[in-house]
Amino acid sequence: MTQAPYEIDVMISAKSIAARIEDLAKIIESEFKDTDKLVVVGLLRGSFVFIADLVRELDLPVEVDFLEASSYGDGMESSREVRILKDIRGQIEGRDVLVVEDIVDTGHTLHQVMEVLGTRHPAKIKSIALLDKPARREVDMKADYTGFEIPDEFVVGYGIDYAQRNRNLPFIGKVRFT
């Protein structure tokens, strides 16, 4: 697949992201204050930067696990077919779980992941997304906690990619095709 030339405009700065994660960590600490260990499940690959920064801010005992789900491939549009490519390794039955997503777009991925993990009988399960794009929602799904609501723009950075590029940007950027 040949990529069209594009430029990236900063939409959310690294400083704004860091400040919002601090706020979210306080909210999550309050929600899970009585947990003996919070299982934080990152949805790969886009959430890896967010999950790393988030768990460092949490003043809670945490265990980190990962699940890889895909509905995009290398394209810009969701296929709406969610595939679980890598399941979590640990058991979550009777445990407190926080699912970490990079962006809720159509809602299909988060909806399916929450359903699958819910069948494993966690004590409590909540979700957090760095970004929420409600204009694209096709499934009635909203994360319990959200970093930023954004308009219907294609974004990259802070773990989010376009055809496996731009994950390493420290900010969220809007892709502008030239």
Task: Spell out the per-residue pLDDT of the chain, length 178, in tens.
Answer: 567 789 999 999 999 999 999 999 999 999 999 999 999 999 999 999 999 999 999 999 999 999 998 765 545 555 567 888 999 999 999 999 999 999 999 999 999 999 999 999 999 999 999 999 999 999 999 999 999 999 999 999 999 999 889 999 999 999 999 8
Q: Is residue 20 part of a domain?
A: yes
Q: Is residue 161 part of a domain?
A: no
Q: Is residue 2 part of a domain?
A: no
Amino acid at 136: R
> Has 132 been annotated as catalytic?
no
CATH code for the domain of 58: 3.40.50.2020
Kindly list the distances between the CA atom of residue 50 and the CA atoms of 53, 57, 135, in Å, as whole numbers in the listed order: 5, 11, 22
Q: Is residue 9 part of a domain?
A: no
Q: Which residues, 6+ apart, have CB-to-CB distance to 86 below 8 Å?
A: 44, 66, 67, 68
Q: Is residue 99 part of a domain?
A: yes
How far apart are alpha carbons 46 and 102 in whole angstroms? 5
Structural domain count, the chain: 1
Catalytic residue among 87, 105, 140, 144: 105
How far apart are alpha carbons 17 and 21 in whole angstroms? 6
Whole-model pTM?
A: 0.92
